[in-house]
Amino acid sequence: MSYLAQPLQWKCAQSCSSKCYCCSGHTGLQRPKAESPLLGPYVRGLPAILALSGASQWRRKYNRSRCVARAQTELVEKEIRAAMQLDPTRLEIQSSKDSNDNRDLRGEWLPLFRGSAPYVAMFRQSIMVFHIPGRLLMETQSSELEGLLGDIALCAVLGVRPVLVPSLSQRVWARLSAECKEFEVKEDPDALEALCNASFESAEMVARLLKQEAGMLCAEVQDLFLRVAAKPTGNFETNKSLSVFASSQLVSAAPQRAASGWQSSPLLGRVTGIDSAQILQRLQEEQVVCVLPVAAGPLRGDGRLHYIPSEELAAQVAEQLKAAKLIFFTRGQRIVDTAHGNAIPTMQLGEASRLLEHAKTSSTFMDKDESKEVVKYLQWLIQALRSGTRRGHLIDPQRGALLQELYTTDGSGTMISLDLYDGIRMAGSGDVSGILDLIEPLVKRGLLKRRGTYEVERACNNQEMFVWKRDDKFVGCASLERFEDAPGKAELGCFVVSPLCRGKGHGAVLLSYIERVATLLGVRQLFLLTTQTMQWFVERGFQNASLDDLPPSKREGYDLGRSSKVFIKNVSDLPSELQQRFTFVEVDALD
């Protein structure tokens, strides 16, 4: 006969469960009465029962506190979600007159955004070569370098195909001065080139440092570019950041002739080949290509690593790829016109060549290090433009300067372009027949009024007619007539571009030339009379006007039968340099 009673069960006062271990807020626990008539087993097991009841009591307190904390957390989260949501009882519909929100959508950002759209479309799929100076690469954690690479990454997102050519000179020279006391610390980027061209004693040490710094720079550029381009300016379509392909195998080199004699230079090399196919393939795959300024020699040669000056390499890469732009980053210095005190935003190739010749012959121009750097960049830009590159730029590397230079009309640096005005001149009596043949198709269509031989010849003799000829063929013509009764006004007339040249930017170049001539003659307002080509002139700054805005003598001779509309442009609103820059940016290439 067993005297063991049934085990004790602690029930909740609310009777929610026979074993309630996590009932929050329920404190009324009752001990059931023993059903066995014999109390002996309970008395003998009293110590164990008391111990069990103490552990159960601690467990109940712990579970209650945990449940209370969970309930408080849920309450806080509920309050946060409620605060983040709009209360529909506070919402109503108001008219624009009653609204207190006076935001103006025509803020400063809107014209900038709209003005940059044509440049974004123009530069899409364009190859641009960026030379990264060595001073920026001394510390890859610098904010200036991060800002510059961030701007280049944004250009890549907008469709540009960037090719980077970094400089190794100052990094290698810093290592040389740290390992060998005979090499003093120099900030001259040409010091390493001179050393590689003349020194045979330290060739092995320099070659070792070149290999080490090239490998380190390759990894650092990849890491830094991916870091700055990962989230803010990554590929939004695929949610993948831009990838960088950096290699020294894209260029092959041969030894350069040493400056000390007939023998070859120990380390300085000259470019013998560029793997354009692989670079274009990488760019087609939307990768950023980084071409390092070191290259191995030919297989049948000594096989030694050769150092190539990064500026020279950037110019040759731009030439081989037929790049749209070659960009050098300065220390912030600008080319300034001392007569007027303004910075030069644009230069033609001929002007840049004359400046380079002046710098070489002048005894004071090259005294400053800033001038030496700009002249060296100009030399390589001129060579690249003569070899097929469309544009060259000198830009400050500060954050945003590259974007302002590429995607705004005003720009931030100096742009060097081909001689767009080459072939435009004042017409002579021998050009009369060619002018008449050029305007005859438009006269038959009623777009121009008929001009006789005498009228065209008189305009040529009065130096009012301009022609544009290339290879003895007429590209276009235009007349600029001034009036004695309105000295500040001139008429743009007989504006014609050959049908073979339309749609390629020749009209914009011819108009820019006439505007610059008008500005030099003191003309403030340029007007024209047209019947059907209004939109083209409106896009270039002309505004609709009335007959009262014409000079009195021109108003008296107005032909009411043609019903021509009057358009006027204030050519004095913008400096001629900015007008010329707008033309250079608008015209991509002329055939």
pTM exceeds cut of 0.75 = no
Average the pLDDT over each of 112-116, 189-193, 374-378 and give the range with the smallest value. 189-193
Compute the average pLDDT of residues 57-63. 70
pLDDT grade for 13, boundaries at 50, 70 and 90: very low
> What is the dihedral sign for C-alpha 518, 519, 522, 524?
positive
257 pLDDT above the threshold of 70: no
Integer angstrom CA distances of residue 105 from 102, 110, 215: 10, 7, 50
| Inter-residue contact 481 to 490 (CB < 8 Å) | yes
Name every residue whose Cβ is closer than 8 Å to that of residue 172 and which is 6 or more positions away in sequence.
Answer: 192, 206, 209, 210, 213
Length, in residues, of the chain: 591
**Highest-pLDDT range among 29-43, 54-68, 246-260, 400-414:** 400-414
- Give me the pLDDT at residue 104, please: 56
250 pLDDT above the threshold of 50: yes
**Highest-pLDDT range among 48-57, 238-247, 297-306:** 238-247
**Token pair of 319, please?**
């030439």
Distance from C-alpha of 238 to C-alpha of 229, rounded to nearest angstrom: 14
36 pLDDT above the threshold of 50: no
Average the pLDDT over each of 58-62, 229-233, 389-393 and give the range with the smallest value. 229-233
- Give me the pLDDT at residue 241, please: 60
128 pLDDT above the threshold of 90: yes
Q: What is the pLDDT of residues 169-201, one digit of tens each?
A: 888 878 877 777 666 655 666 666 666 665 556
pLDDT grade for 326, boundaries at 50, 70 and 90: very high
- Give me the pLDDT at residue 54, please: 62
34 pLDDT above the threshold of 60: no
- Give me the pLDDT at residue 17, please: 46
- Give me the pLDDT at residue 236, please: 46
Q: In which region does residue 423 sit, left (phi positive, over 0), alpha (psi from -120 to 50) or beta (all else)?
A: left
Average the pLDDT over each of 19-23, 152-156, 175-179, 430-434 and give the range with the smallest value. 19-23
User: Which one is predicted more confidently, 398 or 179?
Assistant: 398
- Give me the pLDDT at residue 589, please: 47
What is the SS3 string spanning 498-516? Answer: CHHHCCCCHHHHHHHHHHH
Q: In this structure, what are the phi and psi dihedrals at residue 148, rounded to the nearest 5 degrees? A: -65, -45
- Give me the pLDDT at residue 321, please: 92
- Mind giving me the DSSP string for 275-309? -HHHHHHHHHTTEEEEE-SEEE--TTTT--EEE--
Give the residue among 458, 535, 537, 468 at the shortest CA–CA distance from 498. Answer: 468
DSSP element (H, E) containing 395? strand 391-395
324 pLDDT above the threshold of 60: yes
Angle between helices 432-444 and 453-461 (to 10 degrees): 130
DSSP element (H, E) containing 222? helix 203-229
CA 312 to chain centre: 23
Compute the average pLDDT of residues 202-215. 79
Q: How far apart are the first and last CA of the chain?
A: 118
pLDDT grade for 35, boundaries at 50, 70 and 90: very low
96 pLDDT above the threshold of 70: no
Q: In this structure, what are the phi and psi dihedrals at residue 291, rounded to the nearest 5 degrees? A: -100, 115
**Token pair of 471, please?**
């290879």
**Residue spans of alpha helices (H) in 25-108:** 40-44, 46-84
Q: What is the pLDDT of residues 134-143, one digit of tens each?
A: 888 887 677 8
Calculate the average pLDDT of the chain. Answer: 77
Q: What is the pLDDT of residues 45-57, one digit of tens each?
A: 555 555 555 666 7
583 pLDDT above the threshold of 70: no
- The label of the residue with tokens 């006027």 reads 568
205 pLDDT above the threshold of 60: yes
- The label of the residue with tokens 């001149």 reads 425
pLDDT grade for 278, boundaries at 50, 70 and 90: very high
